[in-house]
Chains A and B, each alone.
Chain A
Amino acid sequence: MLSGSKSALVTRRQFVAAGVAGGAAVAIGCNATDRGNWEFLTVDQSRTLAAICDQIVPADDFPAASQAGVPDYIDRQLIRHYRRYQDEYRRGLEQAEALSRSRFGRELASLPARQQLEIVAALEQQKPEFFALVRNHTMEGYYGSPRHGGNRDAVSWKMLGLPEPPLLGRAQYDLGKGESQ
């Protein structure tokens, strides 16, 4: 189960990466209802979502949201704890695409990062409720527990200098002396 879902993640990640790099070439025969390996999102929606998430937590020395599995986290919760937000996501992602197409004539995921940022900033202005939802869910996926599909390999915790696995059992050591991490 675990290794199965992991390989699925790799496929998705490659797909997203291809989307960023390949622009229009990405329209490889998937239609509006194709779910690929996603539980709730369609492949198209997942690309849009990943692009938004990656502006909320962009890559620097540490991975971007989608590389840390944030869209997986959101996708999973949309058929679990966040079932109640399914419509908001369907509508919101569509609106994000509409913004992208009307301003740049192209799919959000195929735009260069600067233009993606512009669209996401416009989304925050025009659809503040949906944006707030994605923003919060992205933070949860990036900074929350790895067990829900996000924060892959505890990457954000490592970024913050929190050891993973955590150093439990420290009561046995004299913390005043010796190495502190």
Chain B
Amino acid sequence: MKRVNAVVVGAGAAGGIVAKELAVAGLSVVLLERGKWYTAADCRKDDLRNQRTTVLGNAFGPEDEGTPRVWVDAQGATHTVLASEGGYNNNAACVGGGTLSYGAQAWRYMPQDFRMRSTYGAPAGSSLEDWPISYDDLEPFYEQAEYEIGVSGDDSGTPFRGPRRRPLPMPPLPPGREFSVLEPAAKRLGLHPFHIPMARNSVPYNGRGPCMRCRWCVGFACEVDAKNGSQNTVIPVALNTGNCELRTGCMAKEILTDERGRARGVAYFDERGRLREQWSDIVVVSGCATESARLLLNSTSGLFPYGLGNRYDQVGRHLQGHHYTGALGYFDFETYDDIGPGATIAISDYNHGTPDLCGGGMLANEFIRLPIHMVDRLPPGTPRWGLAHKQAMRHWHKRTIVIMGPTQQIPTADARVTVDPAVRDKWGLPVCRFSGNVHPHTFEIGEVQARRAEAWLKEAGAIHTSLMAGKPTIVSAGQHQAGTCRMGNDPRTSVVNKTCQVHDVDNLFVIDSSVHVTNGGFNPVLTIMAVAYYASAALVREWKGTGFRS
């Protein structure tokens, strides 16, 4: 196979952007993606099998057969799980990665989110740390993501955000009924509600039409292609340059290194299961936090007996996601209008600044309400089955509002991905194994956030409320997984430097959610995208034309 300049592993949020930036700069790129490229014909709306509700499997990968993972509970017992089960911590496996089916909330983190340790001090036992880059470093790249991917919304209503040079490129969608119930209530409480920024066309943009506001958004692909992911923005641009080849159904097995310890390409299984080698000048790993860590850990050799980037046992640590908490409100009038995409209104008043709490998180109304979700969300005391349950479904389905939000987790070094010593996947590769948990202070913050959500619902007229604030006993990283290849200046406590270059292998990069030092109190994807633009720009700057030298 012809040697290329760059192999990018993973055609998701970050990988798509890196492939595009490198291809546009003239590098030859092979983009490897283990999943498929879905088209509009695959966009069926199935309440039981999508990427958010997976009772009958993941709609957009991975499939359940031959792709197990293992998690270790607080007592040390191990559990093997299927890809569609909760403990798997899945995001997605397809062209677009999570961005094909995501909810598309497109948040900038706040300036404090990049210096959590300086702002709060690290709670004992935590690994709370500052990023080596700041909000200001990322600001131009947030803007680039907002304009190239396409974001609608209006965050001018909140003072709790970093400065932006340009407004969002598209206006918000017209408000739904929940917005009109919640907005005045928030204002009465002295809060600052606003329209959530969303990677979704509210008006024609980028050659595609606007959202038609269907019932099935988060977890589903969009049949009118109004939801903006890497699969309908940057990846087509990359392919149009003629410099990028996308290979689907291709599972990277390991990163190959030469005798001097530099990366020389990627070994992968192609769609027919044949083992292939693609040689390259540089390798970029963009497989999302869990799988990127696995790939590095599975890339062992004489020089790197513990895997790549893992000289100081850092790969896979600080695994985090978000601790979702909130409240359910029940109303004596209809609040649900069955108009997508769902989440419309948010506040970021509570992300920072509460005495004795290390942070907080954004609160927003819930994305989606399928009947199958409502089955277990009826008022406390409702029988779980029988006539009363059925009648309660009828009564409450359109009379509830959920407010919740991604509480920023306080990471620990013990919450981690390793590779399982025994369990292998269908390619024969050791699988991800999860252990440990985030710092318990996280749950205290989550509890406070849930009460705030409840107060908002009560102010809006809820006649009953119930809190949604669990206390998971194992790290729940899930769709917002991050942190496993920490960005930092010190090679002993981080895996990549501030431009996402692996400390001890100068032509190897990790560019995806793995590098997040902390994960903000917001959905992570726009930050993943901004970091991808930022790191790609640095890479292109350093590119010497014949090979990569740092």
* Residues of A near any B CB (own CB < 8 A): 55-58, 60, 62, 77, 80-81, 117, 135, 138-140, 143-145, 147-148, 156-157, 159-163, 166-172, 175-176, 180
Residues of A within 8 A of B375 (CB): 139, 143
- Answer yes or no: B393 CB below 8 A from chain A CBs: yes
A57-B390, A81-B56, A162-B338 known; A147+B384 contact, CB < 8 A: no
The answer on a CB contact under 8 Å between B371 and A162 is yes
The answer on a CB contact under 8 Å between B390 and A171 is no
The answer on a CB contact under 8 Å between A143 and B371 is yes
Chain B 15-50 interface 0/1 with A at a Cβ cutoff of 8 Å (1 = within): 000000000000000000000000000001111110
- Answer yes or no: B174 CB below 8 A from chain A CBs: yes
In angstroms, how far is the closest chain A Cβ from the Cβ of B81? 12
The answer on a CB contact under 8 Å between A139 and B372 is yes
In angstroms, how far is the closest chain B Cβ from the Cβ of A56? 4
The answer on a CB contact under 8 Å between B213 and A170 is yes
The answer on a CB contact under 8 Å between A60 and B372 is no
In angstroms, how far is the closest chain B Cβ from the Cβ of A141? 9
A81-B57, A140-B55, A170-B213 known; A160+B397 contact, CB < 8 A: yes
A169 CA / B223 CA spacing, docked (Å)? 11
With an 8 Å Cβ cutoff, the count of chain B residues facing the other chain is: 37
- Answer yes or no: B214 CB below 8 A from chain A CBs: yes
A62 CA / B384 CA spacing, docked (Å)? 18
Taking a contact as CB atoms closer than 8 A, the residue among A58, A117, A135, A166 that contacts B214 in the complex is A166
In angstroms, how far is the closest chain A Cβ from the Cβ of B334? 9
The answer on a CB contact under 8 Å between B212 and A144 is no
Residues of B within 8 A of A139 (CB): 372, 375
The answer on a CB contact under 8 Å between A160 and B393 is yes
Residues of A within 8 A of B397 (CB): 160-162
Chain B 193-215 interface 0/1 with A at a Cβ cutoff of 8 Å (1 = within): 00000000000000000111111
A55 CA / B46 CA spacing, docked (Å)? 26
Residues of A within 8 A of B391 (CB): 60
The answer on a CB contact under 8 Å between A170 and B398 is no
In angstroms, how far is the closest chain A Cβ from the Cβ of B243? 37
A159 CA / B394 CA spacing, docked (Å)? 7
The answer on a CB contact under 8 Å between B393 and A147 is no
Chain B's closest residue to A52 (CB) is B385
Residues of B within 8 A of A58 (CB): 386-387, 390
The answer on a CB contact under 8 Å between A171 and B213 is yes
Residues of B within 8 A of A157 (CB): 371
The answer on a CB contact under 8 Å between B387 and A171 is no
13 contacts between A and B (CB under 8 A): A55-B385, A57-B389, A139-B375, A143-B372, A144-B48, A144-B55, A145-B47, A160-B393, A168-B212, A171-B210, A171-B213, A172-B212, A175-B337
* Residues of B near any A CB (own CB < 8 A): 44-49, 55-57, 64, 173-174, 210-215, 337-339, 370-372, 374-375, 384-387, 389-391, 393-394, 397-398
A57 CA / B384 CA spacing, docked (Å)? 10
Taking a contact as CB atoms closer than 8 A, the residue among A62, A138, A148, A161 that contacts B48 in the complex is A148
The answer on a CB contact under 8 Å between B385 and A57 is yes
Residues of B within 8 A of A148 (CB): 48, 56
The answer on a CB contact under 8 Å between A77 and B56 is yes
Residues of A within 8 A of B46 (CB): 145, 147
A68 CA / B416 CA spacing, docked (Å)? 45
Residues of A within 8 A of B213 (CB): 168, 170-171
Chain B's closest residue to A172 (CB) is B212
Chain B's closest residue to A73 (CB) is B48
In angstroms, how far is the closest chain B Cβ from the Cβ of A7? 25
A148-B48, A166-B215 known; A160+B394 contact, CB < 8 A: yes
Taking a contact as CB atoms closer than 8 A, the residue among B214, B385, B390 that contacts A60 in the complex is B390
Q: Knowing that A143-B370, A143-B393, A175-B337 are A-B contacts, what are 13 other residue pairs whose CB atoms are under 8 Å apart, sorted by A's residue number?
A: A56-B386, A58-B386, A58-B390, A80-B56, A81-B64, A145-B45, A160-B371, A160-B398, A161-B398, A162-B397, A168-B212, A171-B173, A171-B213
A144 CA / B55 CA spacing, docked (Å)? 10
In angstroms, how far is the closest chain A Cβ from the Cβ of B337? 8
A101 CA / B339 CA spacing, docked (Å)? 50
From B48, B49, B375, name the one whose CB has the most chain A CB atoms within 10 angstroms.
B48
The answer on a CB contact under 8 Å between A170 and B371 is no
A132 CA / B393 CA spacing, docked (Å)? 18
Residues of A within 8 A of B374 (CB): 143
Residues of A within 8 A of B371 (CB): 143-144, 156-157, 160, 162
A81 CA / B85 CA spacing, docked (Å)? 12
Chain B's closest residue to A167 (CB) is B338
A56 CA / B211 CA spacing, docked (Å)? 38
A161 CA / B48 CA spacing, docked (Å)? 20
From A55, A144, A180, name the one whose CB has the most chain B CB atoms within 10 angstroms.
A144
A57 CA / B339 CA spacing, docked (Å)? 27
In angstroms, how far is the closest chain B Cβ from the Cβ of A37? 22
